[in-house]
A and B are shown apart, each in its own frame.
Chain A
Amino acid sequence: EFVLTQSPATLSLSPGERATLSCRASQSVSNFLAWFQQKPGQPPRLLIYDASNRATGIPARFSGSGSGTDFTLTISSLEPEDFAVYYCQHRVNWPFTFGPGTKVDMK
């Protein structure tokens, strides 16, 4: 079973700043990695699939990179609506486990 770790646990930034979130897998997941954003009281929303592809309707300020075991989600310039929790998930085979999440909050 794949184990995903995310860092940092919390990222305190201001609007307009760049956010860099990390996800590491216990073994190679190739590029079968997704990123989700979740706001309070809402289900998660797919941001990035296959490590680097933006899902439909996701703004260009969100980008994903990496392959194998190390992945990064970058938000180039934080908008007020981007303050949320971000999860990575591998999609190699069942179970599609999630990382513990990174909370991006406002400084």
Chain B
Amino acid sequence: EVQLLESGGGFVPPGGSLRLSCAASGFTFSSYAMTWVRQAPGNGLEWVSAIDAPGDRSYTADSVKGRFTISRDNSKDTLYLQMNSLRAEDTAVYYCVNDYSNSRIYWGQGALVTVSS
């Protein structure tokens, strides 16, 4: 069974930093691209960043480019999102997503990040 467990969320003041982690199990982590998707309170889904299986190629949305960095450690089956220079508008639930295939897309339960003074 595929499991994705996010951690590292919490309260942070504007301008602060936070690193989210996503521990994966139930599949060969090193073979699949991974994605972060976020959802601000009461809002829709926003695709944030993705990284390919070996970790060589990534893409980050313009809204967070230059502030957020996606990475992975295939030896630990873990995905990361380093978030710097956080703003109030970054407040959201951050989901770790495994695009196993077009017919199997697995989501974690999400980690809440609150940016507030």
Consensus secondary structure, chain B interface: strand
Query: Scoring A residues 57 to 92 as 1 if CB is less than 8 Å from chain B, else 0, what string do you get?
Result: 000000000000000000000000000010101010
CB-based contact B107/A94 at 8 Å? no
Q: How many residues of A contact B (CB 8 A)?
A: 25
Interface residues of B in 30-80 (CB under 8 A from A): 35, 37, 44-47, 50, 59, 61
Could you say which of B47, B99, B107, B110 contacts A95, with CB atoms under 8 Å apart?
B47
Tell me the bound Cα distance from A44 to B95 in angstroms.
10
Tell me the bound Cα distance from A99 to B105 in angstroms.
17
Q: How far is the CB of A16 from chain B (nearest CB, A)?
A: 28
Tell me the bound Cα distance from A38 to B47 in angstroms.
15
Instruction: Tell me if B117 is interfacial: C-beta within 8 Å of chain A.
Output: no
CB-based contact A96/B103 at 8 Å? no
Query: Scoring A residues 28 to 68 as 1 if CB is less than 8 Å from chain B, else 0, what string do you get?
Result: 00001010101000011110011001011000000000000
CB-based contact A56/B44 at 8 Å? no
Consensus secondary structure, chain A interface: loop
Q: How many residues of B contact A (CB 8 A)?
A: 19
Query: Scoring B residues 103 to 117 as 1 if CB is less than 8 Å from chain A, else 0, what string do you get?
Result: 111011110000000
CB neighbours (8 Å) of B37 from chain A are 98
6 contacts between A and B (CB under 8 A): A34-B102, A46-B103, A55-B103, A87-B45, A96-B50, A100-B44
14 further contact pairs, Cβ within 8 A, besides A43-B109, A44-B107, A101-B45? A32-B102, A38-B45, A43-B107, A45-B107, A46-B103, A46-B105, A50-B103, A87-B45, A91-B102, A95-B50, A96-B35, A97-B47, A98-B45, A99-B44
Q: Which residues of B contact A (CB under 8 A)?
A: 35, 37, 44-47, 50, 59, 61, 95, 99, 102-105, 107-110
